[in-house]
Amino acid sequence: MENFKEIEPTDVCPPHIQKELVSEIDSIRNSFQVVELYVGDFLSVISSLVNLPLNPPATND
Amino acid sequence: MKQYTDEELVRLYVDTQRNQYFEALYTRYCDKVYRKCLSFTKDSARAEDFTHDIFLKLIVKLGGFKEQAKFSTWLYSVTYNYCTDHTRTRRGNEFLTEDIDRVPDYSDDNDAEIAEMQSVGLRNALEQLNADEKSLLMMKYQDDFSIRDIADMTKVTESAVKMRLKRAKDKLRKHYLEGVVMWLLLALRYIITKWPLRF
């Protein structure tokens, strides 16, 4: 309907929002990588601890 | 980037996580989203915050975009839902008390009447409606979404959308007529004070 389209604002989105968004995405992505790295290492340590043999192999002495 | 469709850009962004694909999508839609936010907030600073938050929300949700609808429809859905949620006031939300089975009939009978409304009066009348009603009318008449699309976007049934539209149009017409009557009374008063009747 034409009258509804006429009342829509004609303003343009300010360019600084794009810069803010991109830097925010980068920072979120970096944070995820750091968390993934540390949590990943932590989990692999836990997993190796869990998988340690309960009875150590018998020695020959 | 112009050779890619929206959906291809989404896929490329999800797969590669490279900002250039997101920026291409942003460039295509930022003005539309910003204008929609401005329609709801009437305040440029708040509209900027809304636009920022909507695109940030979009990035988080992009991985879950299933391509069941067009990207633009999906983006509008996120935009409308965000704006409606954040501009909703405590004023009565009649939609919650509706009886969907009772008034399922919808017709475009009063569309002609709405089409004849003057822009200024229409804008004022829209401002009198609550965020949900305003959002519904804008989806239907500003963005030309079908009832099916609106039902998908608002996650209600088509009959509920039809009934809500009917109610919103009735309220819009009422507020518009109130505005017209008020202006007529003011004009009459001005005429009477300017040229007083002499008996």
* Helix, strand, or coil (residue A58): coil
| B16 touches A at CB < 8 Å | no
| A61 touches B at CB < 8 Å | no
| Token reading at B34 | 């910003």
Q: Which residue on chain A is closest to B56 by alpha carbon?
A: A21
Contacts of A17 in chain B (CB under 8 A): 30, 34, 48, 51-52, 55
Who among B17, B56, B138 is closest to A21 (CB)?
B56
ipTM above threshold 0.90: no
Is B151 exposed, middle or buried, given 0-12, 13-18 or 19+ CB atoms closer than 10 A? middle
Q: What's the half-sphere exposure (Cβ side, CA atoms, 13 Å) at B27? A: 9
Tell whether the model's pLDDT for residue A6 goes beyond 80. yes
- d(CA B113, CA A46) in angstroms, rounded, equals 70
CB B78 within 8 A of CB B50: no
CB B75 within 8 A of CB B29: yes
Q: Which residue on chain A is closest to B22 by alpha carbon?
A: A22
Our measurement of the distance from residue A4's CA atom to the centroid of its chain's CA atoms, rounded to an integer in Å, reads 41
CB B158 within 8 A of CB B165: no
Report the candidate in B138, B128, B141 with the shortest Cα–Cα distance to residue B171. B128
Q: Which tens digits make up the pLDDT trace of B110-160?
A: 688 888 888 889 999 999 999 999 999 999 999 999 999 999 988 899 999
How many angstroms away from the CA of B35 is the closest CA of chain A?
Answer: 6
| B114 touches A at CB < 8 Å | yes
Helix ranges, chain B (H) = 6-16, 19-41, 44-62, 71-87, 111-115, 119-127, 131-141, 147-154, 158-194
Alpha-carbon Rg of chain A, whole angstroms?
28
Q: What's this model's pTM, rounded to 2 decimal places? A: 0.80
Count Cβ neighbours within 10 Å for each residue of A19-48 and write b for 16 or more, e otherwise: eebeeebeeeeeeeeeeeeeeeeeeeeeee
Each residue's pLDDT, cut to its tens digit, for chain B (199 residues) gives: 788 999 999 999 999 989 999 999 999 999 999 999 999 999 999 999 999 999 999 998 888 888 888 899 999 999 999 999 999 875 545 554 555 455 545 556 668 888 888 888 999 999 999 999 999 999 999 999 999 999 998 889 999 999 999 999 999 999 999 998 998 999 988 888 888 766 6
How many angstroms away from the CA of A50 is the closest CA of chain B?
Answer: 33
